[in-house]
Structure 1
Amino acid sequence: MPDDLPSDLPRLEALRTWHALWLKRIDRKVAALRVREAERKRGEQARPPTPDFIVELSIGDGRPPVELHVGGCYAAGKRRRPVDTEEARRLLAAGLRPCTHCEPHHQLGALEQSPP
C-alpha cells in the first residue's frame, strides 16, 4: 500500500487537526438532523386526526359558513372549523354549498343534494 501521507510530524499533526475539526462539524450536523427527525416524528404522532368534515368560513360579521368540505380537502380555504357528520348533514339541508372538488354530499349520502 503506497504511503501518500507527509513524512514530517508538523504536517501530519496539521492534517490530523484539520480532520478532527471536520469530524466535529459532521458530528454536529448528524446530531442536529437526528433531533430534527425526532421532532418531526413527535409532531406526526401529536397531530390531531383529520376531521371527517370541515366548514369553510366567510370573513364577514360572525364568519358564516360558505362551503362544506371533506376533512383534508385541498380546496378548503384557511378559515375553517371541523364539524361532525350530523352538523354537516344539517348544513347541507339548510342549503350550504358542497365543495365541487371533494363532494362531501356523496359521502354523507345526500346524493339528491347537488351543487348549485
Structure 2
Amino acid sequence: MATRSERRPAPPPPEWLIEHGIGTGRLPARVHTGQCWDTRSRCKPATADQARRALAEGVSARPHCRPDTALGVLE
C-alpha cells in the first residue's frame, strides 16, 4: 500500500466546465471557466474546443466568470 508521500498529486482542475440541466437528456445549460465560484455538481470538464462549440450552439456563458470573453467568443 502506498504511503502519503508516494501518492500522486491530484490532477489540476479543468480549465472549462459545461453545466448540464436537470431531467431527461440533461442538455448543456451554461459554460463556466474552471475557476468559476458558481459551479455546481452538474458540471463536467470540457476542452476549450468543446466550450467554444457549446457557446456557438447557443449555450449560455456564465455571466460571473465570462468564459465567452476568456475564449475570445463574443456574442
What TM-score, normalized to structure 1? 0.56
Structure 1 residues not aligned, in runs of 5+: 1-38
In 1, the alpha carbon distance for the partners of 2:57 and 2:20 equals 15
- Matches of 2:42 and 2:34, distance apart in 1: 13
Superposed counterparts of 1:23-102, under 5 Å:
46-102=9-65
Gaps of 5+ in 2: none
* C-alpha RMSD of matched pairs (Å): 1.9
Partner amino acid for 2:32?
Answer: H
Consecutive aligned runs of 4 or more in structure 1 exceeding 4 Å deviation: none
Work out the number of aligned pairs and report it.
73
**How many angstroms does 1:42 deviate by?**
7.8
Instruction: Map 1:105-116 onto structure 2 (within 5 A).
Output: 105-111=68-74, 113=75
**What do residues 18-68 of structure 1 show as CA deviations (whole Å, max 9, x unaligned)?**
xxxxxxxxxxxxxxxxxxxxx6x888x622211110011111112111100
Are residues 47 and 90 of structure 1, via their aligned partners in 2, closer, same or farther at CA, if it must alter by over 3 Å? same
Identify the structure with the greater helix proportion. Answer: 1
Identity of aligned residues (%): 36
Higher relative contact order (CA 8 A, sep 6+): 2
| CA distance in 2: counterparts of 1:69 and 1:96, whole angstroms | 11
Whole-Å separation in 1 of the counterparts to 2:30 and 2:38: 10
Go from structure 1 to structure 2 and tell me whether the alpha carbon gap of 1:109 and 1:47 turns closer, same or farther (over 3 Å shift): same
